Amino acid sequence: MAFDYIIVTDTSANLPAPLLGEHGVTVIPFTYNYEGAERTCLDTEAFEDGEGEAFYAKLKAGERVTTSQITPQRYEEYLEPILKEGRDVLFISMSSGISNSYASSEVAAEQLRAKYPERKLRTVDTLAASLGEGKLVLRAIEYRRAGLGLDENADRLLSDRMKLYQIVLLDDLMFLYRGGRVSVSKALLGTVLGIRPILKGDEDGHLVVCGKARGRKRGLGLLAEKYGELALKGPGHLVGIAYTDCPEDAFALRDTIKETDPHAEFMVVRYEPVTGSYVGPGTVALFFDAEDGVRAY
């Protein structure tokens, strides 16, 4: 199917490759260094089973993973051929509050706009990652299918991102500390006494500590309680759940939410390796739609 403009995202969106391919979405990969080699994970669906299990088991055993932001040159490599073909681009990015990659995309976009002044290129900072970002990519697909032009689509996404709630249960904060996402003092939370930190995405797209729970069962219960308190419930509401090495917890959370919102739809995925290496083993994250301004809660 031919489109007036092409939707582009990055692998942090954590959406299945066949789904993105079906809708003509271009995906720019993050890279990570693991076991002495640089790797990418474009097919996050294939990462669901054995490969993903082995990856997080090795992280838990002490294997180190390093990641790199996407460079302006890499963005140009993917975006310029689309513009050269005479198509416009809507790029939907991982949060600028988590990675500097969005800033790199803006550098590339400015250069490409100057080179192709007749074309349109919009970038959207989702202020999200994993299925938070993925939900906005899916929304963009819906808007395009409904006939929205590129600018109207981008403007709606900028509004929708402020209605997206992201809450994450971690085993501890040490992986975020190693990735430079939290301070050492905060990283000590949860390393003793079985305390599990709970984080949320704030108004600027940062992951910030918003609570703590003694034990995983209580932590999962708090995520479900937050859904009951804030979520827009009912038919057509897509709820995202991402996990690293604990599928049983992810599906238990899904079943708990189903009891209170039986008409909700669910997408449950394993964290792709780049974002997953930041949050670490034992992580379960919940993404849902709520009222405007919910990021402040």
CA distance 153 to 100: 24
Q: For the segment 24-48, what is each residue's pLDDT rounded down to a tens digit?
A: 999 999 999 988 889 988 878 778 8
Q: Does residue 174 sit in the same domain as residue 247?
A: yes
Give me the percent of the chain exceeding a pLDDT of 70: 94
Residue 51 located in a structural domain:
no
Same domain, 74 and 211: no
- Select from 161, 195, 223 the last residue of a domain: 161
Q: How confident is the model at residue 186 (pLDDT cuts 50, 70, 90)?
A: low
Q: Of 17-21, 59-63, 193-197, where does mean pLDDT reach its minimum?
A: 193-197
CA distance 47 to 55: 9
Looking at the 3D structure of the chain, how many domains does it have?
Answer: 2
Pair 124, 140 in one domain: yes
Residue 40 lies in a domain: no
11 and 111 fall within a common domain: yes
CATH code of the domain in which 85 resides = 3.40.50.10440
Query: What's the chain's Rg over C-alpha atoms?
Result: 19
Q: For position 184, what pLDDT does the model report?
A: 41
240 is a domain residue: yes
Which stretches within the chain are classed as H helix?
Answer: 17-22, 50-60, 72-84, 101-115, 130-145, 150-160, 174-178, 184-187, 216-230, 247-260, 273-279
User: Cβ distance 174 to 183 under 8 Å?
Assistant: no
**Residue 59 covered by a domain:** no
Whether 279 contacts 170, CB under 8 Å: yes
Whole-prediction pTM value?
A: 0.93
Following CA atoms 53, 55, 56, 60 in sequence, which dihedral angle do they give, to the nearest 10 degrees?
Answer: 130
Strands 66-68 and 26-28: unpaired
Whether residues 104 and 141 share a domain: the answer is yes
Q: What is the mean pLDDT of residues 68-75?
A: 94
The whole-number pLDDT of residue 50 equals 83
Distance CA 191, CA 181 (A): 17
Range of the domain at 99: 5-34+68-161
User: Which residue is it, tokens 């007749």?
Assistant: 118
Residues 130 and 10 in one domain: yes
> What's the DSSP call for residue 69?
P
**Is the pLDDT reported for residue 182 higher than 80?**
no
Mean pLDDT of 164-188: 70
Residue 295: name the closest of 166, 169, 134, 181 by CA: 166
- State whether 191 and 168 are in the same domain: yes
The domain boundary residue, chosen from 161, 188, 219: 161
What does the pLDDT read at residue 187? 45
CA gap 65, 67 in Å, rounded:
7
Give the model's pLDDT for residue 174.
Answer: 78
Q: Point out the domain boundary residue: 161, 185, 220.
A: 161
Q: Is there a domain that residue 186 lies in?
A: yes
Distance CA 131, CA 124 (A): 15
42 in a domain, yes or no? no
